[in-house]
């Protein structure tokens, strides 16, 4: 639950009514197509959003190449959650082209910013992507996740998250 909480905090700051400029919604910021694919009918419903986001994340973990070490699969799946699995594969291709290891997150993470540069993204199958954003996304979730793991016993963070969700009703609908 801690990783799911970290993802939803990064995505919406636990605001079930959050809406991005691109139209993704809810605590897990699902697109319409992703929501439909994972059985979510109301993206702003807390339980549906969390369950749907969890289902989607697990699907992404299962899609990660078996060549990637189990300890790193979550990182690749987090990147795919943010930018899509196709762009992650493009970053892996760039790693391979540049002599880095496409199966090691630290090497692939270094390639992500190149997806914003025409000289590099023109060599990929899926083109431009906001790689800097994805690198930050993954790192922030890792930080939030570590925080939740280390502070759960001291502070009832589940209760804090619940209170934040209840308080979200007072927040504006745009994030």
Do the beta carbons of residue 91 and residue 46 sit within 8 Å?
no
How far apart, in whole angstroms, are the C-alpha atoms of residue 108 and residue 104?
A: 6
Among the listed residues 18, 8, 17, 16, the one whose alpha carbon sits nearest the alpha carbon of residue 81: 8
Q: Which of 11, 74, 89, 109 is catalytic?
A: 11
Listing DSSP states for 94-155 in one string gives HHHHTTS-TTSHHHHHHHGGGGGSHHHHTTSSS----HHHHHHHHHHHHHHHHHHHHHTTTS
Q: Is 11 a catalytic residue?
A: yes
Active site residues: 11
């Amino acid at each position: 639950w801690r990783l799911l909480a970290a993802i939803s905090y990064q995505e919406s700051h636990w605001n079930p009514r959050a809406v991005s400029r691109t139209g993704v919604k809810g605590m897990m910021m699902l697109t319409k197509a992703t929501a439909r694919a994972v059985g979510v009918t109301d993206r702003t419903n807390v339980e549906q959003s969390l369950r749907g986001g969890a289902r989607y994340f697990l699907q992404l973990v299962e899609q990660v190449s078996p060549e990637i070490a189990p300890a790193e699969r979550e990182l690749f799946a987090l990147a795919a959650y943010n930018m899509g699995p196709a762009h992650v594969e493009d970053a892996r291709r760039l790693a391979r082209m540049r002599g880095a290891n496409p199966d090691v997150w630290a090497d692939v993470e270094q390639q992500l910013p190149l997806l914003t540069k025409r000289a590099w993204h023109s060599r990929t199958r899926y083109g431009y992507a906001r790689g800097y954003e994805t690198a930050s996304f993954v790192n922030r979730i890792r930080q939030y996740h570590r925080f939740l793991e280390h502070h759960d016993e001291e502070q009832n963070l589940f209760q804090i998250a619940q209170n934040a969700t209840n308080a979200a009703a007072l927040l504006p609908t745009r994030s």
